[in-house]
């Protein structure tokens, strides 16, 4: 593996027409190449255009939101030329390492783009793991921006890390004193992002550097909106020594048109269920559970008596809760891991589908009444734009912070309790499932979610805050 990492990756340029379906198909590649995805629009040749390169790290969630972001930019200004650069490698454990190793290849790509293209790249948009490429952008006289695919709360933590680091001597998870950051709800150490948990770790060092790295950006787009986190965004403007403009431009979510032909079976199944009756259960693009936890979830859903649509993944004992970069050692079909007789007992009431669902269309289906989610930010926003309340079951990364925001601040979710062994027991799952779909408290969350649904839609209208933020940047860029 070491060998394959050090070898220069093969460059492949893919010319793709716009459209998620096309993009996803192109992205179904052997993960050993450096892929440059060029998305031309119809005026590609005729006019001088601002060329924006977007550098994406690994992770399906990231990638999906970056693609949506590119599409949104093109909606605004079809004259932009957008290039998506995806440095990939074989089985990486650390996205950051992957980005570092890919820098020479990214430099080559930028050089190549600037040499072989009549439109030199003017803007480089990096994602959360892209800061190592900021200096590269400057080298080529390119203006660096970031697409921060989560929320204002997490950005606030990242930018306050050097200060917080000085305030604590013990590991955050051992501290019972809440961390109070301006404009956001107090956070307990155990809920901070995974990389903050072990102060001796490499990930922690990377997190601490972030403040200085972000200072070199020309702007940060955040996939959130003023109506959701106004106090956080106001406070972000006041951070000492940090003058980079922050643009809340969300929610950017998948908005592909629905196809009536070849509708997936799970949607047809949902057609048969009563309005608002079904709990959708899914843990993002990479979340997995242990076998023990999977059993509890199965029994809990059964016990709840509620209808459910569950996207099940093969359990993973080794790297519990995050299968992004682990190798699946078993070829067994995910449904084989269900408790004996479960499918027969829940027939008609529940549907279990392996690995992947058209989540956006599922959440948009009238039969869905709640979403049990790992709190990945894309999933949260997709639920929000459809007004669906949540059960928060955070697994990894910054998801625990998201769950605090959703439960304690925004009050659109119930959060699961775990036992001493970190297991969410069946009774807990059954109780929350019932409460969310049938209970009065669930109805309260639904009303709150509906409020944010409207507020999100408002932010994206021509007079909305997110629209205006994007216009501000787009008009700057058009003159590049
Ligand atoms: N997703 C999907 N179908 C699935 C699982 C995930 O379409 O079965 C999509 C989901 O709609 C979202 C993304 O994958 O856009 C997951 O991103 P998120 O930030 O929620 O979590 P991550 O996968 O990054 O942990």
Q: What does the pLDDT look like over 45-70, one tens digit per residue? A: 345 567 777 776 655 566 677 777 87
Alpha carbon distance 44, 27 (integer Å):
22
Q: What is the pLDDT of residues 376-399, one digit of tens each?
A: 999 999 999 999 999 999 998 899
Q: What is the pLDDT of residues 354-379, one digit of tens each?
A: 988 999 999 999 999 999 999 999 99
Contacts of 30 (CB under 8 A, 6+ apart): none
Say what the pLDDT of residue 131 is: 85
Cα–ligand 1 centroid distance for 135 (angstroms) = 30
Q: What is the pLDDT of residues 78-108, one digit of tens each?
A: 777 777 776 654 333 356 666 777 788 788 8
Active-site annotation holder among 89, 127, 191, 194 = 127
Q: What is the pLDDT of residues 416-440, one digit of tens each?
A: 999 999 999 999 999 999 999 999 9
Q: Which two tokens stand for residue 134?
A: 């900021």
Cα–ligand 1 centroid distance for 334 (angstroms) = 18
Going through 313-472 in order, the beta strands assigned E by DSSP cover 350-354, 368-373, 390-392, 413-415
Contacts of 389 (CB under 8 A, 6+ apart): 370, 371, 383, 412, 413, 436, 442, 445, 446, 448, 449
Alpha carbon distance 394, 56 (integer Å):
24
Alpha carbon distance 295, 335 (integer Å):
12
**Residue 304 pLDDT greater than 80, yes or no:** yes
Between 293 and 323, name the one with better pLDDT: 293
Q: Which of 368, 354, 182, 199 has the alpha carbon at shortest distance from 270?
A: 368
Active site residue 51: no
**Residue 322 pLDDT greater than 80, yes or no:** no
Whether the CB-CB separation of 73 and 51 falls below 8 Å is answered with: no
Cα–ligand 1 centroid distance for 61 (angstroms) = 5
Active-site annotation holder among 62, 96, 160, 374 = 62
> Which residue out of 23, 60, 280, 402 has the highest number of ligand 1 atoms within 8 Å of its CB and is therefore the one to mutate?
60
Longest CA pairwise span in the chain (Å) = 64
Say what the pLDDT of residue 22 is: 36
Active site residue 409: no
Strand order from edge to edge, sheet including 51-55? 10-15, 33-39, 81-87, 51-55, 121-126, 143-148, 219-222, 246-248
Say what the pLDDT of residue 128 is: 82
Q: What is the pLDDT of residues 149-204, one digit of tens each?
A: 899 999 999 999 999 999 888 788 777 889 999 999 999 999 998 888 888 888 88
> Which residue out of 312, 376, 382, 393 has the highest number of ligand 1 atoms within 8 Å of its CB and is therefore the one to mutate?
376
Say what the pLDDT of residue 17 is: 37
- Does the predicted interface ipTM exceed a cut of 0.95? yes
Cα–ligand 1 centroid distance for 360 (angstroms) = 9
Say what the pLDDT of residue 133 is: 87
**What's the length of the chain?**
480
Q: Which two tokens stand for residue 133?
A: 């490429």
What confidence tier does 248 reach under pLDDT thresholds 50, 70, 90?
very high
Atom of ligand 1 at shortest range from CA of 59: 24
CA distances from 232 to 139, 155, 271, 344, 477 (A): 33, 9, 40, 48, 26
Whether the CB-CB separation of 91 and 148 falls below 8 Å is answered with: no
Say what the pLDDT of residue 15 is: 39
Contacts of 292 (CB under 8 A, 6+ apart): 423
Say what the pLDDT of residue 91 is: 31
Q: What is the mean pLDDT of residues 459-470?
A: 95
């Amino acid at each position: 593996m070491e060998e394959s990492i050090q070898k220069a990756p093969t460059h492949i340029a893919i010319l793709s027409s716009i459209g998620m379906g096309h993009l996803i198909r192109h992205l179904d590649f052997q993960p050993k190449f450096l892929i440059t995805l060029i998305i031309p629009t119809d005026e590609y040749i005729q006019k001088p255009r601002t060329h924006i390169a977007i550098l994406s790290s690994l992770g399906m969630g990231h990638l999906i939101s970056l693609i949506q972001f590119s599409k949104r930019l093109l909606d605004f200004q079809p004259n932009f030329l957008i290039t998506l650069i995806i440095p990939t490698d074989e089985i990486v454990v650390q996205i950051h390492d992957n980005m570092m190793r890919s820098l020479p290849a990214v430099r080559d790509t930028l050089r190549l783009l600037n040499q072989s293209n009549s439109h030199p790249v003017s803007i480089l948009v990096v994602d959360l793991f892209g800061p190592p490429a900021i200096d590269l952008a400057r080298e080529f006289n390119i203006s660096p921006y970031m697409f921060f695919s989560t929320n204002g709360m997490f950005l606030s933590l990242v930018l306050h890390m050097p200060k917080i680091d000085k305030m604590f001597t013990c590991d955050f998870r051992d501290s019972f004193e809440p961390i109070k950051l301006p404009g956001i709800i107090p956070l307990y150490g155990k809920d901070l992002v995974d990389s903050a948990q072990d102060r001796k770790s490499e990930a922690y060092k990377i997190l601490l550097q972030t403040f200085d790295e972000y200072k070199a950006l020309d702007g940060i787009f955040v996939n959130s909106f003023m109506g959701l986190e106004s106090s956080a965004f106001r406070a972000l403007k006041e951070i000492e020594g940090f003058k980079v403009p922050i643009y809340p431009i969300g929610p950017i979510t998948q908005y592909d048109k629905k196809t009536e032909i070849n509708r997936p079976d799970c949607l047809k199944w949902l057609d048969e269920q009563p309005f608002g009756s079904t709990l959708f259960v899914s843990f993002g693009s990479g979340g997995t559970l242990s076998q023990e936890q999977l059993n509890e979830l199965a029994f809990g859903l059964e016990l709840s008596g509620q209808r459910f649509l569950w996207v099940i993944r093969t359990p993973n004992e080794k790297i519990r809760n995050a299968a992004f970069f682990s190798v699946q050692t078993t070829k067994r079909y995910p449904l084989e891991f269900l408790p004996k007789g479960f499918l027969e007992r829940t027939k008609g009431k529940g549907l279990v589908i392996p690995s992947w669902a058209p989540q956006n269309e599922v959440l948009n289906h009238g039969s869905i009444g709640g979403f049990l989610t790992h709190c990945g930010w894309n999933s949260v926003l997709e639920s929000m734009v459809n007004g669906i309340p949540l059960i928060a079951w955070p697994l990894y990364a910054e998801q625990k912070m998201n769950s605090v925001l959703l439960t304690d601040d925004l009050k659109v979710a119930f959060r699961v309790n775990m036992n001493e062994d970190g297991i969410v027991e069946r009774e807990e799952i059954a109780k929350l499932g019932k409460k969310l779909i049938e209970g009065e408290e669930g109805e309260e969350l639904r009303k709150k979610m509906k409020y944010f649904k409207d507020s999100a839609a408002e932010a994206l209208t021509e007079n909305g805050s997110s629209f205006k933020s994007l216009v501000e940047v787009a008009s700057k860029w058009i003159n590049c």
